[in-house]
Structure 1
């Protein structure tokens, strides 16, 4: 019998410690391990860049949550992305990326990987035909976020997986906004799942990390080689913090979604807002796809303000419970201006986000207090 999500979150990769019986995975703060003889390692532990028990517990847990077979934990989401690109691409290869990708991901492609010889084309990942048109004979990867950051567009994972495999490419899905609780792309045909575990997976704004999850053994072997060779691994304390956050992922996501839906209802129809971007709205162009592939619609909400960029900046500066700050997915609510903050690297490019856009990461506080904070920030 397949165990439920919350059971896997609490137990996968985390048996009681065999020496002490501790029910929480210990922090193995060690760099090296005793060998019984030259080349005779205990359970494969040689050096902690290669393998650490605390990191291994996290890697097994995230793999179980995404219904994958192999997980890899990194020092950040971008460390995971960089390692993946080096593992599966070569100079001269081409990647299709979202035309509203996370600013850090865009910067990685535009300012780092392009200098290494990797080509890329932005495309609206919610439009399968547009993605197909962006594919070239050198395309090795179709890279999508769903929902996207920050415009909350929805990609049809199953359809894009079919397209990727048709052209001999891999489908990579950044599942950070949804979390493994709301969506499991590997079950829909994706080849690789990427997470910034800094966000919902860790969930408490106290750790930075990233993860890759796959099902294919050969692909896992390639990623493992590059993880060890490049060395951007998650440390044992960061791994422990992330594991602690994972245990409550399901209950946190339910509250994030509950609060987001309350806020979306309140925002919808306001005269000072031109667009509320949330896949749970029936008028959202990706609503049907999101409903088919997600458990619920998440805790991220974006709005566009009628007063333009200045109105957006004013709203960000006036909230009190919504903390003005970058990142997302923590228990506390955050507000930001993507154009000047998380997506500043895209200014002046085709991926530049609208100046009137504000992004909300809705936390798990009492919804009434969050609504009161937004009301005073709008000047009601």
Structure 2
């Protein structure tokens, strides 16, 4: 049992003297891939900020000790933030990690935590060297509680926040996406009414056509591009309102809630909208080769039905030639939501960007006839013994071409 309730924990640490860091634990952060590098990844700039003594270029691999309270489980450890600075000494590594979590007994390294949202709070880290580290590893839908405070934290995205300041949300993905638009490059309508998720996806496709690349590559590079476009538009639209100030607390909270809800809405729809664009580019026709948002039984709406919603509703159409695809950025606690979305389809396909799952969770998915569809570049983030059982987006498209 946690040492406190999650709302109380958030209230305790939502103070400007603390620094928050949030990420979804990848299989390489936990012990799932068995390629573990002694602790979850932390950005260098963050650790140098909250633990200045770590930034010591005069010694090889400087380190400090820090007491860590895993309040979600509970557990207490003395962990060791390390700067692997071998590159300064003729070696190759230049990264920071935090070690000493206690192996698989720790919720941070437990393979079952793969895909979970983890929030790390460096106590008093905004005012000098952090005095301690407090951690919450989410279970079930606890990440939705954090979503009301931080907005969505997607796989491959990192979030740094000092309460009272803007949330610094950035990507660990493609370094060459570079789709930051200046206000002068945005349609005028975007600056007066925030563009829809579909508008931003279409702009990402325009900026990154990538027609010579496979669908898997297009999907990830456009997602990075879309993320940068969204942040640029958010800055252009909302920054002037913040600079102008607020008439009262209610006005400030209203704007903050609007921004968080918009971020969650974009995150929730982005993957399916990006997939739809790729299906069309690959020669599939909406309404003929696939249906986006078509109905199955009792008004249920799977993200995609193949070859079409009309074929699905035709009892004479062979069930073994029907497919459904759900698009969920994270799958760890949400994959069960798709099990009843299309009764005629025995195997449910799930497109996800999650960076690994635990072996036990994959076994559950397999037993429930869920087939994971994972962009090719992410497959190496999964346990080696299940990689051959994953399907790429490219191979999924190849399979559904023949269904109509």
TM bin, normalised by shorter chain, reads under 0.3
Which entry has the higher C-alpha Rg, 1 or 2? 2
Q: TM-score, normalised by structure 1?
A: 0.25
Q: TM-score, normalised by structure 2?
A: 0.24
